[in-house]
Amino acid sequence: MSYDAVPLIPRDVLFGNPERMSPSLSPDGTRLGFVAPLDGVLNVWVGPADDPAAARPVTFDQDRGIRVYDFCHDDKTLVYLQDTDGDEDWRLYALDLESGESQLVTPQTGVTAGILAHNRWHPNTMLVALNADNPALHDIYRLDLATRQIEKIETNPGYAAWMVDSDLQVRGGIAMTEDGGAVTYLRNLETGADEPWMEIGPDDVASTGVFSFSRDGKSALVLSSIGVNASRLLRVDLSTGEQSVLAEDESYDVGGIALNPETLEPQGVTFIKERKVWVHLDPEFGAEVDHLRSQLRGEIGISRAVRDDRRWMVHDVLSDGPVRYYVYDLDTRELTYLFSHRPELEEYELSEMEPFSYTTRDGLTVHGYLSFPAGVERKDLPAVLNVHGGPWARDTWGYHPEAQWLTNRGYVCVQINFRGSTGYGKAFGNAGNKQWAKAMHTDLLDAIDYLVGKGWIDRQRVGIYGGSYGGYAALVGAAFTPDVFRCAVDLVGPSNLLTLLTSIPEYWKPQIAFMYSRVGNPETEKDFLWEASPLSRVDDIRIPILVAQGKNDPRVKEAEAEQIVNALIDKGIDHEYLLFEDEGHGLAKPENRERFYAVAEAFLAQHLGGRSAN
């Protein structure tokens, strides 16, 4: 079959608003909520649990949209979060499901709100974190859902994170140490004082911490890599310190934990390897998970919001199709299909994501995923190295709109979990420390060499593309190794590590020691950071670059894009620049996504020879 016979997937099918997403059942089981467009803007819709077609919008945003919401256990309230033009100053709203009245409960300017705790045992109360008094520190506030009154109950002594139990008691917090480690402070419930409980060294800080407290508050579930390579699940007696290991793997960190919503006992864990691997701690729960997996084709996720725990919301994630949502009845073991996030995708031939691995120049095994164009021989194809953000994150198997876009346009999409990516144990994660533009980059180069050696991709037609850290990696590719790549696409990526680290949001400062230990300290390692900055090597850039930036980005400021773009102008280097006035760290509005992907598609086609719908 000729590749030209494969229909182009319209960009709005790939990057436009989903038809419906994020379904949730209310705690009393009577309502179904989901996010869907209203006049082209994402809003929250609610209807009867047994009749999704009868749902009606309950929010009426006309600008950026609403994506994060939750039903409350008072069975009357729905809460949601919203920022302004991507500034990440999240505001909390409470909506009365009977009257439809919505109230802004955190109206402060320049403040970001986060929900700390709310549960079935305290249906009328919610604990909220707000940095209203000190922009660097989030204090704890108690929100009365009945009166909508909010009051501060705890002042932050310097914690990067709080710990709260199921009785909404503050149990302590986590404070970073100067060397990039941390100390977990546990509250003495008799004296009310927070006392040092667990010291976490820099090598373990990314993979160690308290996950939850038992229902009686006497023990904690702890994820810990202390003394081992990969994070394992422990139960720790808070009075004696006695530990028992519940789940572990030599090479992979625990990726997820399923708790019984009534008892808070762990029933299962997942490890994210090439695919998701389930380990059952409770045989009855495990039998239900295995039954669901036998009925579905992809990676399953389970939400257990209904208080009687007899109906679960299940999603099925495929790599070659839309995300599908179901309701599972545990009494009948029936799985009822609700909807998929983008039904139009069913009309097109999509690519499957294939795991692979290779060995780097220094002997490290690195994993990744390949997606190939349909209908063509896997030989000497153009490729796009799509680098994930974070960098303390990872790519996973599943539906990725950018992978489908790239393969449909004729490119091999290459996704690499380079050293420093999460989930592969602390040795692999810590191997990325202070390796920006160094071994983290050569991991990417080694992937290209491996794929060229297989004969799958054409060395002369490789582009590098990414957002956030991935955007930085694209700039590094252009500035440090311009002979490897034909072009580069940078979305909200930093160009100067010195200005990046000195312009972070105030509320990131309690954990700045972590970033210094992983990236570098601008006060003591100025030359080191400058040498790892793409801006320092702008004279070496010889390939075209597309730069895109959100003007209101609080993480990677507009200045990061302006610095590199001004340098490219001064040097007369071929480039394009897109500045989105109403976006932040990424592109939320569909019209902005269309503008970016249209330009990126034409840019890649011009320089790599793929297809374009333009």
Q: How far apart are CA 23 and CA 326, in angstroms?
A: 9
Q: How far apart are CA 245 and CA 65, in angstroms?
A: 43
Among this protein's residues, is 83 annotated catalytic? no
Q: What is the pLDDT of residue 4?
A: 66
Among this protein's residues, is 553 annotated catalytic? yes
Residue 125 lies in a domain: no
List phi, psi (to 5°) of 290: -65, -40
**Is there a contact between 74 and 125 (Cβ–Cβ < 8 Å)?**
no
**Among residues 194, 249, 443, 553, which one is catalytic?**
553
Residue 213 is encoded by which pair of tokens? 């407290």
Q: How far apart are CA 257 and CA 117, in angstroms?
A: 17
Q: How far apart are CA 304 and CA 311, in angstroms?
A: 7
DSSP assigned state of 437: T
Residue 552 lies in a domain: yes
**Among residues 224, 231, 468, 533, which one is catalytic?**
468
**Is there a contact between 172 and 153 (Cβ–Cβ < 8 Å)?**
no
Q: Are strands 457-467 and 487-491 parallel, antiparallel or unpaired?
A: parallel
**Is there a contact between 138 and 129 (Cβ–Cβ < 8 Å)?**
yes
CATH of the domain at 442: 3.40.50.1820
Residue 492 lies in a domain: yes
Among this protein's residues, is 503 annotated catalytic? no
Residue 497 lies in a domain: yes
Q: How far apart are CA 497 and CA 528, in angstroms?
A: 10
Q: What is the pLDDT of residue 614?
A: 76
Nearest to 2 by CA among 409, 374, 456, 346: 374
Residue numbers of the domain that contains 536 = 346-608
**Among residues 315, 341, 585, 607, which one is catalytic?**
585
Helix axes 469-480, 439-453, angle to 10 degrees: 70
Residue 366 is encoded by which pair of tokens? 């690195």
Q: What is the pLDDT of residue 5?
A: 74
Taking the whole predicted model, whether its pTM rises above 0.85 is answered as yes
> Which segments of the chain have a pLDDT < 70?
1-4
Q: How far apart are CA 366 and CA 344, in angstroms?
A: 35
Q: What is the pLDDT of residue 3?
A: 58
**Is there a contact between 561 and 554 (Cβ–Cβ < 8 Å)?**
no
Q: How far apart are CA 148 and CA 124, in angstroms?
A: 10
Residue 216 is encoded by which pair of tokens? 């009686």
DSSP assigned state of 603: H
Residue 313 lies in a domain: no
Q: How far apart are CA 352 and CA 363, in angstroms?
A: 28
Residue 547 lies in a domain: yes
**What sign has the CA pseudo-torsion 262, 268, 271, 272?**
negative
- How many domains does the structure of the chain reveal? 1
Residue 406 is encoded by which pair of tokens? 């790239």
Residue 90 lies in a domain: no
Residue 355 lies in a domain: yes
Nearest to 162 by CA among 180, 187, 144: 187
**Is there a contact between 177 and 183 (Cβ–Cβ < 8 Å)?**
yes
Q: In what order do the strands lie in the sheet with 77-82?
A: 68-71, 77-82, 91-96, 102-104
Cis, bond preceding 391 (omega within 30 deg of 0)? yes
| pLDDT tens digits along 458-494 | 999 999 999 999 999 999 999 999 999 999 999 999 9
Q: What is the pLDDT of residue 384?
A: 98
